[in-house]
Structure 1
Amino acid sequence: MPALVALGLWTSLLPQITYASATSGEPSGNVLVAWPGWGVQQDLGSIAGTVERFQIWTSAEPERGVATVWASLIDTSTSEVLRQTTIDISPTYSPFIRTLSFPPYRVPNGQQMSLLLQVATFETRYVVFGLARPNADYANVALNGEADAGIGPLAFAHVRTGNGLRAAILGEQSGRLRLLLAGIISLLAVLAHPRVTGQVGRVTHTVQTHGGALVKRAQAQVKTGARTAAAESSGTSNRLLAIPWFPWLAVAVPILHFAATNDVHFDVREAAMPLVAGLTLVSVSMICLRVLVGDWNRSAAVLTIAIVLFFAYGHIDLALDSRVDERALVATVIVAGVAAALHVLRSRRSIDSWVPFLNITAAILLLFPTASVLSDAGAFLSQTSPTEAESTEYLTRHLLPDGVSSVDRTRPDIYYIILDSYGRDDALGGFDNSEFIAELEDRGFYVASEATSNYLYSLQSLASSLNMAYLDDLGHRIPGSRSDLLRIGRENALVAILKDLGYFYVHLESGFVLGDEAPSADLEFKFTPAGVLRNSNRSVADESLFDRQFARSLIATTILGAIAGQTFLRDDHSALPWYAPERTLQMFDVLSKQIEGSDPKFVFAHIVKPHRPATFDQHGNFVSGTTMDVLGVRAHDEFGPTHDPSVPDAYIGQLIYINSLVLNTVDNILSHSDNDPIIVIAADHGRADDYPSHAILAAFHLPSSGTSDLYPSISSVNHFRYILDYYFDLDIGLIEDVQVDHELEKYDFRSAAPLDRG
């Protein structure tokens, strides 16, 4: 029992945790007031490693609106600005906790830094900062260069995310206590069993004197087992079932199930390498356990216990709604696994009779995800692509049977920005979004007040709108499978027509499966932890295991995801996942800058925001959530500590921040464009759950009186039918605006029966 308790304490130190590596303490009640243009400066002392996030306590002048603060990390000795960021401070009657997120900075040895917080010069209200109690570790806060401006230092904490054991060694209080207890109880466990020392000596002597014989015997046993398995395979079905196949089946089930249930987000081919790696690891583990245990069946049982708990961890966390501290949950799962394995190894009862039952059960569990994955794989392998010579005619035949006619007209740059799951103003659950709509209208946009999408989910909606047709009305390209939908979305009529008109196609990779590949793109942007990469599209075959979003998302649902955290799972040059807040900021940043390339340009960006998870709050802070979805993504449906009570829910909070990014991006596009550009900002579908899912945002900036014939109820399928006809006289024509009701996994649109078009 002491050994199991010690094991639980040791394993509770494995998960990644967020902890304060340096802090001046929490607010004491004293505050410092700073007016517009004033700067609050705090010496940070010696912080080693990488600096990225700080927590401070602050508030803006009550009842006066949000105030902007410029935050900077300063080299104390040279006054060089090392990193900068901006935050918006909400008005409250007492300081509340805020998180400052700087670009990562690796601190050289011995460098002293200070934190400068300056209220923006254009502000008209003051900002209050919370102070900690005076202490010897940090100097009192300075104001406008004057030392000792307040009674105590600025209340701050430098926070890091790292391994719990490392945090304990560095001084994290609860971790240090568990580390101490784990060491003491481990020592007591050893002292309580003095035979351990003698046993170790005997084992060492045995290994030294009989090691060669043991190895030879083990090799002979392995060969004998292999010969026995081969003989049994040619025997009766009962003998075949008596072979312990279930560990290999057990590792395949969760991998293929994850691929089958998340096929909208991932390419099914990405499951191949994790599956091969899992099966290989099981094979090696089985041989090692057989050598140690001396029994194939018991080895298989122990290994299967480990596999089940490894993959079940995320589901256990989800079932508990993340109410249990991750450190305690990891320790509980590992201790339970060790206890179960010891029971199997020490039991005198034979488990041979259970092997056929376990084989059959595992095979049945594997049957359904395998069928789904093989169906997708078969559809992919059987699909055919048009030749380059017939590409444009092939892709546009359903719209322009006679091909794209040449035009001699001005060709403005075109920006097509999809904001995923952005609901229409009247379909946001009572939230008043009219201020944002008015800002768009002030910039020359026509906002369709009754706009709708034609489909309920992203894959179907984007495939339809990019081809300007209903999915059951695409003629020779009507999709019959998910792979067909992906193909017609990636190789679409809109891009084919615009390229034929001389447009330079710029594609911003989305992280969503349809937007991860753009075969016709002239310039492609990829978004990574290391920054934005140009023209860096790699095929699945070129990527290592952990470059792939599928493998990283799968591992995030396992116990390894809790132990290793994102630092292990992330490759700085692998694509950021679709939900990552860093991806959103990088995409808006690219759109805001002048993009190099031939004119005119067609720029397509599918930004998977404000779609959940809500990784931003209304101020743009990165937030953490409390529940986990099937992708291992924290769903962020609850509020963090920076929540403004005036915001009804996390989705709306994120939407508010996205609004600010959109307006800033539009301003930049308009300012650096030589000719007035076409800008379409639209959702692929509306807000999810119990909201009108067809009701979407659709805003059009169309130069040369292009909005004159637009109408309030225009739907996604007609957006570019209208634009291409107005500017290029292609005579495609508008079609009826219809809302199609369908299931998420509706991929086959070849049925002769008409769809339910409500």
Structure 2
Amino acid sequence: MKKILPYLHPFFFALYPIIELRNFNIAYVDSASLVRPILVSLLSTALIWGLLRLLTREWTRSGIATTLIVVIFFSYGHIFLQIQSTFGEMIRHRYLLLVFAALFALAVWFIFRRMKNADRLVNFLTVAGAFLTLFSLAVSIQHDFAVYQSAREVRAAMESARQEADQSNVGARPDVYVILLDAHTSAYALDKYFNYDESAFTNRLEELGFYVAQCAQSNYPATKLSVTSTFYADYHREDTLFPLYSSLVVETLRAQGYRVVTFENRSQGHFSFGEDLRLSRNQMLAGKIDLTGGLSEFEFQLLETSLARLPFDMPALIPGFDLAQQKETEFYEHYQQTFFILNELKRLPAEVEGPKLVFAHFLVPHPPFIFTADGKFDWNENEVDGYLSNVEFIDSQITGVVQEIVAKSKIPPVIIIMGDHGPSGVPSKDTPHLRMEILNAYYVNDAARADLYPNITPVNSFRVVFNNYFGTDYPLLEDVSYHAGRFEDFTPENAVSNECMGSR
């Protein structure tokens, strides 16, 4: 063991920043999202150390230099962002790079020319790296274990709170589709804030048999908060985001023999459904971890807080590096995945035996705005035009999708088409009210339709569905929209009124 320890410190420092960044965003990043960054980090560290060993013919000092490179790489972005937030735009990469380069050159000179006792520094780096990594890992594991324990407790609580279906009142079990259009606002908001008429889309949904809640708002302004409360059919009352596999909706439907089907996308780390089937264009490790697809939101944040942000901020530094081309390549994967989900949804009624709960999360009209109105790939950086063209595109596609789902289903399905919050990536239009306005449309039986109303919020969606399909008697909750992202801020002071209802 003593012979191995001196060779571990570069890998400790390669692990620590990734785990710690996850801890900083722990409610939104699941542990599976760490696998690919950790693999890349460890392999890159080993490669750098191997190259330095070839150049210096010395393991100990080249290992110290490797740790130095790793620390510089992962700390650069954090330091740049901190200085920028403190002093504004006065800080530029060229100046900070000079400082880092000078410190690096001085450190390398000291390591290879002046340092007499390298073993002492190795021991310090090993202990420090191990402490930081293990402490950070413990925090991460503690959170995951707490979520697991909480999920068990919530599941037990749900068992007591979950009303058993009245079997005498349960007919044939319909497939249930939740189609989430990320950042899709309401027709009312599109008209008021964007001067855009979406009536052709909402009228078409109504022709297909949907009830469109014209004044619907989200309960929360962020995806994970909104979706979790939808599937738990309740407001967030604890300071933990529980996994969706223990939610009221999933537990109720599983008790009725439903399978869970989801789709892979760039934000898959947000949710843990315990799905029976996850459909993806990419080959996945153990059916859970995508090693070949585009960068996740967590990986983008990791790049932004490291030295890897340089090519994106200063593409001229790297000959042949085309930032626009790199982004378009990444966005095109998202473009293809969107069409994959659209096409697979049409096939599901016939190809996957029911009953099933299907969750399809479209990152449209969420940025990047890469769809023209007629479905061509075009990265539009104009925030308003881009948002509206993406709204027009996804509206035109969804009507055809739900029409086929209904036509191919042996039993009339339940379909909920919802936004999770209002527009993202349109800062010139952003207001608390716009952030909370959402699309909310239901394809349900006549009994459920009679219980729907214009300003229904997602926490009540499945209460209405279960009461009218499974004979439960869940009371409807007060419809409240909290424009806040932290649990302690879900207070009446941060509740947003419904402008749409006030205008009626």
> Quick check: TM above 0.5?
yes
Do 2:215 and 2:454's aligned partners in 1 also have CA atoms closer than 8 Å? yes
In the alignment, which of 343, 346, 361 is matched to residue 592 of structure 1?
A: 346
Do 1:249 and 1:363's aligned partners in 2 also have CA atoms closer than 8 Å? no
Distance 1:560 1:318, change over 3 A: closer
Tell me which residue corresponds to 2:376.
621
Do 2:60 and 2:118's aligned partners in 1 also have CA atoms closer than 8 Å? no
Moved more, 612-621 or 448-457: 612-621
SS of 1:525's partner is strand
1:379 maps to a residue whose letter is: H
Q: Deviations over 1:19-50 (max 9, x none)?
A: xxxxxxxxxxxxxxxxxxxxxxxxxxxxxxxx
Tell me which residue corresponds to 1:525.
278
Do 2:151 and 2:246's aligned partners in 1 also have CA atoms closer than 8 Å? no
Q: What aligned pairs does 1:233-382 form with structure 2 within 5 A after superposition?
A: 250-268=13-31, 270-271=33-34, 274-275=37-38, 278=41, 282=45, 285-286=48-49, 289=52, 292-293=55-56, 299=62, 302-304=65-67, 306-307=69-70, 310-311=73-74, 350=114, 374-382=138-146
Do 1:511 and 1:578's aligned partners in 2 also have CA atoms closer than 8 Å? no
CA distance in 1, matches of 2:338, 2:293: 22
Tell me which residue corresponds to 2:457.
715
1:718 maps to a residue whose letter is: N
**Structure 1 residue 665 displacement after superposition:** 0.7
Do 2:185 and 2:422's aligned partners in 1 also have CA atoms closer than 8 Å? yes
Do 2:261 and 2:356's aligned partners in 1 also have CA atoms closer than 8 Å? yes
How many residues were matched structurally?
A: 459
Asked whether 1:581 is paired with 2:335, we answer yes
Asked whether 1:405 is paired with 2:154, we answer no
Tell me which residue corresponds to 1:658.
394
Distance 1:493 1:595, change over 3 A: farther
Do 2:9 and 2:129's aligned partners in 1 also have CA atoms closer than 8 Å? no
Give me the identity figure in percent: 24
Tell me which residue corresponds to 2:437.
695
Do 2:373 and 2:390's aligned partners in 1 also have CA atoms closer than 8 Å? yes
1:724 maps to a residue whose letter is: F
Gaps of 5+ in 2: 85-92, 312-317, 497-504
Distance 1:706 1:344, change over 3 A: closer
Asked whether 1:612 is paired with 2:367, we answer yes
SS of 2:357's partner is strand
- Please, what is the CA RMSD of the aligned residues? 5.3
Q: Deviations over 1:233-277 (max 9, x none)?
A: xxxxxxxxxx99985565345323442345455323553675477
SS of 1:680's partner is strand
Moved more, 720-729 or 701-710: 701-710
Tell me which residue corresponds to 1:54.
none
**Structure 1 residue 599 displacement after superposition:** 3.9
Do 1:268 and 1:373's aligned partners in 2 also have CA atoms closer than 8 Å? no
Q: What aligned pairs does 1:532-551 form with structure 2 within 5 A after superposition?
A: 538-539=287-288
In the alignment, which of 348, 351, 358 is matched to residue 603 of structure 1?
A: 358
CA distance in 1, matches of 2:156, 2:103: 64
Greater Rg, structure 1 or structure 2? 1
In the alignment, which of 420, 423, 428 is matched to residue 182 of structure 2?
A: 420
Higher fraction of strand: 1
**Structure 1 residue 697 displacement after superposition:** 0.7
CA distance in 2, matches of 1:459, 1:710: 24
Higher fraction of helix: 2
In the alignment, which of 204, 210, 213 is matched to residue 445 of structure 1?
A: 210
Tell me which residue corresponds to 1:101.
none
SS of 2:402's partner is helix
Asked whether 1:671 is paired with 2:407, we answer yes
Q: Which structure is richer in relative contact order (CA contacts within 8 A, separation 6 or more)?
A: 2
Asked whether 1:737 is paired with 2:479, we answer yes
CA distance in 1, matches of 2:466, 2:341: 26
Distance 1:727 1:258, change over 3 A: same
SS of 1:415's partner is strand
CA distance in 1, matches of 2:101, 2:151: 56
SS of 1:603's partner is strand
Q: What aligned pairs does 1:554-573 form with structure 2 within 5 A after superposition?
A: 559=308
CA distance in 2, matches of 1:671, 1:447: 20
Distance 1:386 1:424, change over 3 A: closer
**Structure 1 residue 378 displacement after superposition:** 0.5
Do 1:510 and 1:516's aligned partners in 2 also have CA atoms closer than 8 Å? no
Do 1:456 and 1:740's aligned partners in 2 also have CA atoms closer than 8 Å? yes
2:203 maps to a residue whose letter is: A
Question: Normalising to structure 2: TM-score of the pair?
Answer: 0.70
Distance 1:665 1:546, change over 3 A: closer
Distance 1:712 1:514, change over 3 A: farther
In the alignment, which of 419, 430, 434 is matched to residue 199 of structure 2?
A: 434
Question: Normalising to structure 1: TM-score of the pair?
Answer: 0.49
Tell me which residue corresponds to 1:103.
none
**Structure 1 residue 298 displacement after superposition:** 6.3
SS of 2:361's partner is strand
Do 1:682 and 1:698's aligned partners in 2 also have CA atoms closer than 8 Å? yes
Q: Deviations over 1:110-148 (max 9, x none)?
A: xxxxxxxxxxxxxxxxxxxxxxxxxxxxxxxxxxxxxxx
